[in-house]
Chain A
């Protein structure tokens, strides 16, 4: 088996190198194309049509790219923790995360190549235009891709072979290169939504201005955070997969821990995500009111209701996982009694968060309400209510985590009572500030109200940081009962799967919003889409494409999970594998 596996890996490496080469050639080929000018603007893709073909390829490429970018980010952090504390477990864990990378990297390159081909073949005129505007960015992109390969494979194969510091440095390089690649790719696609650096007829003025268009930075930030979130959740799903497969308690304990860490990473990254989203939306409004209204008021606003429902599910399941985790520690039951209050607060916030502004209603219901806005529920649909709800949700999730951390711990410091009191006061103050601005927001005009989100977020952030700091000192040298890792009901592992699938699905959905927003434009306001696919598909169709893409992604990722799990298996001749 092992030989086959090693052979398979070699084979994959060859494939990935080849695809990288082909990609390189394709890009070079396009410089030539740009000079001669192609004579057709569009070609049709059989069966599903060009749009769906490019859509699926782009989404799959993005999902794998996100994974390949995110995993090194937190693997490096975990490795660093291992290095600092000298705890070998962390090092092993980081390596286990990184094991998922090499095949994913090949898939990313393959899907990237597929996407490039599809674009060149199906949308030659548009692709040529993008090449024209972004010509200078392709050489660095390709060079960075090679560097990424070099760093990634030396980071992976060099595990335990280099001095720790050298190895950490490789990881750092990998992250820097990966992020730079993403920044370049983001420039291309944000340019399509909010073009800059060109004249009204599309003549290039400055490539740099085209790169740093209105939505570039917001997308960069949003994507980095979302990637970590997604990477963490997929890695947690891997751990869940291994947990369910595990035969011994020892294995179960290890994978329970790994799932916990992956999920922890995902949730931490998830908390600031709504704010990054607000910033992005604000920049889209700032660039063009029509785009803003299409997104938040027009056809796409229904997708945000689906998004709100999914985010509600994410919060609830993340908390659910933490509450289940209290069962890992003897004496954890003590904190279970708070769960009912947390449920009430969290569900209430989710209900507010998911209340649409204009409601789907029958003609009779509309007559009763006097429009599509409900006279009472309408108050829950506006920004003030949403911001308040999401901030309180974040605070309660943080509280669940604090309770979880406390399970089986007894503080021994002399100021324990005082510390607890201070923490409670800080949390309560933050909640009050959030509520105050939330309610006050109804009595002021929009321009002022928008600014209120800043003190709300800041008070929540301050509370989380200061309470964590107190917690750290409070429980130094505390009497602790051991955590019985692996002592988790099976449903917790399915929760991890659910979280991973939901994150992935949300990425697909919101990616569609970002891209579909342009309506019948390739480059908004500059280059119209005159292909037969230029219409906006129905919401039902769009969600189906997203779902199918997510399904394909999980088929591929399951294959990667399976490959990664082979390395722990015995060789067919009975000797054990060296990894």
Chain B
């Protein structure tokens, strides 16, 4: 967060307050102020799609405020009516009328002179898993299967530790190149990858998923993703070719253990 960016906004608000400007100026100031903050407050800028959603609601909010009271509506309109009707504002009016098309022209010029970028696609990060997969010739039911070692956590903590330890080895032999040594998705290969490797410390990833979902993703990798996981192929390898079933369950234990998260619980059975 660039909190310093709040400063110019507060200064402008102070000045406007001191000058006792009318509602029209306030409305414009609020709009521009919000826009400025949304685009500058965050260190890593928000995507344009989000800025658009935000600004449309802010515009609606300001409009609702202005219109919802007769007094406010009148005082908002007054300067506009004066601008349109009074002789002395003629030059300003002409300027404004000319400004419209010039702005549009500028916008066209600006967007044409941007470097060309790959179009954005709404990639589905967690597409629906199949109900069943074949792992080395064996049928695995993803709906019903659970991590066979999960129960050791309470029953036999020592054995559980060993499984986590084995998972750690597997992780650092295979996964950290991409997913990073801190499990944060910042491995050394990431610069060349799109989509980026998953950041397991993000609460929006593994805690939202059941272990069988991870099993599927690790076993089948990028090639096993359904179409909506596209449009680009994920570099995530299909580990069924390199790891055993138990090893995959182990590395899953490690992912949760190391990040201190819990898998999404299978919902309680119904009566």
In terms of DSSP, what is the predominant structure of the interface of chain A? helix
- On chain B, the residues within 8 Å of A339 by CB distance are 65, 68-69
Tell whether, in the assembled complex, residue A293 and residue B213 are in contact, meaning their CB atoms are under 8 Å apart: yes
CB distance from B52 to the nearest CB of A (A): 10
Q: What are the interface flags for A360-396 relative to B under an 8 Å C-beta threshold, 1 for contact and 0 otherwise?
A: 1111111111111111111001100000000000000
Tell whether, in the assembled complex, residue B120 and residue A299 are in contact, meaning their CB atoms are under 8 Å apart: no
- On chain A, the residues within 8 Å of B60 by CB distance are 313, 316, 347
Tell whether, in the assembled complex, residue B49 and residue A359 are in contact, meaning their CB atoms are under 8 Å apart: yes
CB contact under 8 A between A445 and B262, given known A336-B69, A358-B125, A371-B199: yes
- On chain A, the residues within 8 Å of B266 by CB distance are 289
Check if A350 is an interface residue, CB within 8 A of chain B: yes
User: Which of A317, A374, A446 counts the most chain B CB atoms within 10 A?
Assistant: A446
Q: What are the interface flags for A323-356 relative to B under an 8 Å C-beta threshold, 1 for contact and 0 otherwise?
A: 1101100000100100110011011001100111
Q: Given contacts A286-B267, A362-B48, A376-B1, list 15 more A-B pairs with CB under 8 A.
A: A313-B60, A319-B64, A333-B71, A336-B71, A344-B61, A351-B57, A355-B53, A360-B47, A361-B48, A362-B117, A364-B117, A367-B194, A370-B199, A375-B44, A376-B43
CB contact under 8 A between A446 and B264, given known A297-B208, A298-B126, A324-B68: yes
Tell whether, in the assembled complex, residue A374 and residue B131 are in contact, meaning their CB atoms are under 8 Å apart: no
Check if A418 is an interface residue, CB within 8 A of chain B: no
Which residue of B54, B69, B143, B204 contacts A382 across the interface (Cβ within 8 Å)?
A: B204
Check if A301 is an interface residue, CB within 8 A of chain B: yes
- On chain A, the residues within 8 Å of B117 by CB distance are 362-364
Which residue of B67, B142, B185 contacts A371 across the interface (Cβ within 8 Å)?
A: B185
User: Which of B130, B209, B212 counts the most chain A CB atoms within 10 A?
Assistant: B209
Check if B268 is an interface residue, CB within 8 A of chain A: yes
- 28 chain-A/chain-B pairs, Cβ below 8 angstroms: A286-B268, A289-B143, A290-B130, A290-B142, A293-B126, A293-B127, A293-B129, A297-B125, A297-B128, A301-B124, A319-B64, A320-B67, A324-B68, A326-B69, A327-B70, A333-B71, A339-B68, A343-B62, A347-B57, A347-B61, A355-B53, A362-B119, A366-B194, A377-B42, A445-B261, A445-B262, A491-B67, A525-B131
Interface size in chain B (residues, C-beta < 8 A): 66
Tell whether, in the assembled complex, residue B207 and residue A381 are in contact, meaning their CB atoms are under 8 Å apart: no
CB contact under 8 A between A365 and B54, given known A286-B270, A358-B125, A382-B203: no
CB contact under 8 A between A369 and B61, given known A298-B128, A299-B228, A323-B68: no
Q: What are the interface flags for B69-105 relative to A under an 8 Å C-beta threshold, 1 for contact and 0 otherwise?
A: 1111000000000000000000000000000000000
Distance in angstroms between the alpha carbons of A301 and B128 in the assembled complex? 11
**Within B2-51, which residues are at the interface with A (CB < 8 Å)?**
42-50
- On chain A, the residues within 8 Å of B53 by CB distance are 309, 351, 354-355
Tell whether, in the assembled complex, residue A447 and residue B45 are in contact, meaning their CB atoms are under 8 Å apart: no
Which residue of B68, B118, B204, B267 contacts A357 across the interface (Cβ within 8 Å)?
A: B204
- On chain A, the residues within 8 Å of B199 by CB distance are 370-371, 373
- On chain A, the residues within 8 Å of B140 by CB distance are none
CB distance from B17 to the nearest CB of A (A): 14
Tell whether, in the assembled complex, residue A368 and residue B45 are in contact, meaning their CB atoms are under 8 Å apart: yes
